[in-house]
Chain A
């Protein structure tokens, strides 16, 4: 049977953290966490393949204990097994260490034929972890996948949207696909699914469950990049704000448009 691993992430519900530029103090909002919206189509893709061709669908997430909530969400949609990749030594990871940790978790669990990732996360915003996982596993990867065309026993054929071309590409297993949001509309979990998800256990993978147990390969110490500092962006001189009634404001804007279009 086809074995599929889906990598997902829990992210802040509000993607725009705010820092007071005067004091450097974080504005406390968005403590709520959700499943990254770009990952939902990746889960959906795995479930569609399962329904068409039969497959085992396992979902992996790396994060704090509360991130198990996103695995419950995947269960409610229909995923088979959920793995929370969690250990105090995994935190502070950059692209290199995050992809290494996920690779270790995946590799220590099953020999998967297919690994699915969402396009990007809404917090990190880089779209880089999927390609790095593929390199660690030394398997081919295809980004920007908009369509699954054919699922065979030894390969999968997909459509990939490059900048100037739409490419039809066949990848032999094992391989990794990073799917676009437009690939499938993710299903809403049924009530039955939600109830069943509550009863299902979450598997936790810590350092002791990894093939490589060398702590320094993970988290901050395993990261190649280091954040030296964070700072609020430079403030620019501001023009006077126009505050008029709507009619006058519209006229003002119209004059600006006329001037610009001259």
Chain B
């Protein structure tokens, strides 16, 4: 195996690497250790090796001249003459990153009537915003050509995009156009003095954090989910410069035949009260009990990824890094163990009640009201209690 290399001369056979490997890729054969093809080169074995016997195979890739790539570019999603609210969160993070260097934060708007974006952006800390006037509807191939044109001209070191339906469709296409790296759904970003972007996200299914860098190529692409970063407030003193740009002959192989607005519905991200079903729920039918609790409280039922993967709940009800980020006033987690990827999506809730039979459940680390017990016993009692209170005229919903 060429990715991680074990020097069996130095190896003291302590087997710490075997225990630490998230992929179970290291085997002991007699007095030698070998790394199998499940290796993902995460480097954990190298971290734990007390003998310094493990190293990573070196990359032979030709590095770009990183000095040429400066500044931060924020992709500003713009639909129906409205700037997507995630933009202000991305600008906030970008400004924070730029504060430690001389770099500027710039933006790019692609869409129709882009001039109308000016009023929505001019007081935010953006040095320049490039306006690419084109068709109203998002088409991944067309938008990528315009986006790449901007990146070519500006040569940003870092490109930040929202982890929205549009951002997640465009980001891999644009990153591939520059043969560079993309880290999806970052929960933390740090810019080193050498403009290397440290990208942190839960990985390997969710209970471990990975720290990722893009060492040799530029720009460094990262997407961030809605509500993960804090939005920045406008500064009335500041005036952004707007520059109209165009690309001759850019076209798409996609044709939009129709676009119908989705019916207005309150998603779980807009709810004040959420009841969350985790894998402690044994069968699909049992969700009815939690649904009843949610309805009684005037809220909605949401779930963890595991429950969605079972097909019991629609994917738009999923909380977590690969689902939605929620900040309700009250969240009742029922039978939820609390993976990192889940908690990344709900840790901003004002009040978290967690019901779990396992006293060691990770959810108890962030719950304001950790209750150790069986949801199958507690929830029916709770429903009864709420019904009594309502009968007694106590307003709960």
Residue numbers of A with Cβ under 8 A of B are 12, 14-19, 24-26, 28, 31, 37, 64-65, 86, 88-89, 91-92, 94-96, 99, 120, 122-123, 125-132, 134-136, 139-144, 157, 161-172, 175, 180-182, 216, 219-233, 235-236, 238-244, 246-247, 249-254, 256-258, 260-261
Alpha-carbon distance between A43 and B373 when the two chains are bound, in angstroms: 42
B207 surroundings in chain A (CB, below 8 A)? 16-19, 232-233
A169's contact among B41, B216, B255, by CB below 8 Å, is which? B255
A89 surroundings in chain B (CB, below 8 A)? 2
What 0/1 readout, one digit per residue, does chain B (105-116) give for beta carbons within 8 Å of chain A? 000000000000
Provide 27 A-B residue pairs closer than 8 Å at the C-beta atoms, listed in order of the A residue: A16-B306, A24-B44, A37-B309, A64-B38, A91-B40, A92-B3, A126-B185, A127-B322, A131-B172, A134-B140, A135-B144, A135-B172, A141-B173, A143-B165, A161-B165, A164-B261, A175-B254, A220-B2, A224-B181, A227-B40, A232-B207, A232-B209, A233-B202, A238-B370, A240-B370, A244-B373, A260-B329
Whether the Cβ atoms of A95 and B61 lie closer than 8 Å is: no
Q: Contacts A125-B206, A246-B374 given; 11 further ones with Cβ under 8 A?
A: A24-B47, A134-B141, A143-B168, A164-B262, A219-B2, A220-B2, A229-B43, A233-B208, A249-B371, A257-B330, A258-B389
Whether the Cβ atoms of A163 and B166 lie closer than 8 Å is: yes
A131 surroundings in chain B (CB, below 8 A)? 140, 168-173, 176
Whether the Cβ atoms of A31 and B24 lie closer than 8 Å is: yes
Kindly provide the distance from the CB of A166 to the nearest chain B CB, expressed in whole angstroms.
5
Is B332 among interface residues, defined by CB-CB distance under 8 A?
yes
Number of interface residues of B (CB under 8 A): 126
Alpha-carbon distance between A123 and B203 when the two chains are bound, in angstroms: 8
Alpha-carbon distance between A34 and B374 when the two chains are bound, in angstroms: 30
Kindly provide the distance from the CB of A231 to the nearest chain B CB, expressed in whole angstroms.
5
What 0/1 readout, one digit per residue, does chain B (355-397) give for beta carbons within 8 Å of chain A? 1000100001111111111100111011011100100001111
B240 surroundings in chain A (CB, below 8 A)? none
A-contacting 9-mer, from B14-22, B65-73, B230-238: B14-22
Q: Tell me the B160-216 residues at the A interface (CB within 8 Å).
A: 164-166, 168-173, 175-177, 179-185, 198-199, 202-216
A95 in contact with B172 given A120-B322, A220-B3 (CB within 8 Å): yes
Q: Which residue of B lies closest to A243 (CB)?
A: B372
Whether the Cβ atoms of B262 and A249 lie closer than 8 Å is: no
B185 surroundings in chain A (CB, below 8 A)? 125-126
Q: Which residue of A lies closest to B371 (CB)?
A: A242
Whether the Cβ atoms of B212 and A225 lie closer than 8 Å is: yes
A225's contact among B183, B366, B371, B372, by CB below 8 Å, is which? B183
A135's contact among B20, B56, B165, B176, by CB below 8 Å, is which? B176
Kindly provide the distance from the CB of B190 to the nearest chain A CB, expressed in whole angstroms.
11
- 10 closest Cβ pairs, A-B complex: A224-B181, A250-B381, A92-B41, A131-B172, A246-B377, A225-B181, A126-B184, A135-B176, A168-B258, A92-B3
Q: Tell me the B47-104 residues at the A interface (CB within 8 Å).
A: 47-48, 56-61, 79-80
Whether the Cβ atoms of B359 and A243 lie closer than 8 Å is: yes
What 0/1 readout, one digit per residue, does chain B (299-312) give for beta carbons within 8 Å of chain A? 00000011001010
Alpha-carbon distance between A140 and B170 when the two chains are bound, in angstroms: 11
Is B252 among interface residues, defined by CB-CB distance under 8 A?
yes
Kindly provide the distance from the CB of B41 to the nearest chain A CB, expressed in whole angstroms.
4
Whether the Cβ atoms of B211 and A228 lie closer than 8 Å is: yes
Is B281 among interface residues, defined by CB-CB distance under 8 A?
no
Is B130 among interface residues, defined by CB-CB distance under 8 A?
no
Is B259 among interface residues, defined by CB-CB distance under 8 A?
yes
Whether the Cβ atoms of A256 and B369 lie closer than 8 Å is: yes
Whether the Cβ atoms of B168 and A128 lie closer than 8 Å is: yes
Alpha-carbon distance between A230 and B368 when the two chains are bound, in angstroms: 28
Kindly provide the distance from the CB of A40 to the nearest chain B CB, expressed in whole angstroms.
10
Where chain A touches its partner, the secondary structure class is mixed
Q: Which residue of A lies closest to B203 (CB)?
A: A230
Q: Which residue of A lies closest to B389 (CB)?
A: A254
B173 surroundings in chain A (CB, below 8 A)? 131-132, 134-135, 141
Whether the Cβ atoms of B137 and A91 lie closer than 8 Å is: no
B227 surroundings in chain A (CB, below 8 A)? none
Which of A122, A128, A249, A252: most chain B CB closer than 10 A?
Answer: A128
A161 surroundings in chain B (CB, below 8 A)? 165, 262
Alpha-carbon distance between A135 and B60 when the two chains are bound, in angstroms: 23
Whether the Cβ atoms of A28 and B24 lie closer than 8 Å is: yes
Is B39 among interface residues, defined by CB-CB distance under 8 A?
yes
Alpha-carbon distance between A18 and B353 when the two chains are bound, in angstroms: 23
Alpha-carbon distance between A134 and B254 when the two chains are bound, in angstroms: 13
B255 surroundings in chain A (CB, below 8 A)? 169-171
B138 surroundings in chain A (CB, below 8 A)? 162
A254 surroundings in chain B (CB, below 8 A)? 382, 385-386, 389
Alpha-carbon distance between A139 and B48 when the two chains are bound, in angstroms: 44
Which of A17, A129, A180: most chain B CB closer than 10 A?
Answer: A17
A246 surroundings in chain B (CB, below 8 A)? 373-374, 377-378, 381
Alpha-carbon distance between A88 and B79 when the two chains are bound, in angstroms: 45
Kindly provide the distance from the CB of B113 to the nearest chain A CB, expressed in whole angstroms.
16
Is B217 among interface residues, defined by CB-CB distance under 8 A?
yes
B256's contact among A15, A96, A167, A243, by CB below 8 Å, is which? A167
Alpha-carbon distance between A229 and B181 when the two chains are bound, in angstroms: 17
Q: Tell me the B1-43 residues at the A interface (CB within 8 Å).
A: 1-3, 19-22, 24, 36-43
Whether the Cβ atoms of B180 and A224 lie closer than 8 Å is: yes
A166 surroundings in chain B (CB, below 8 A)? 259-262
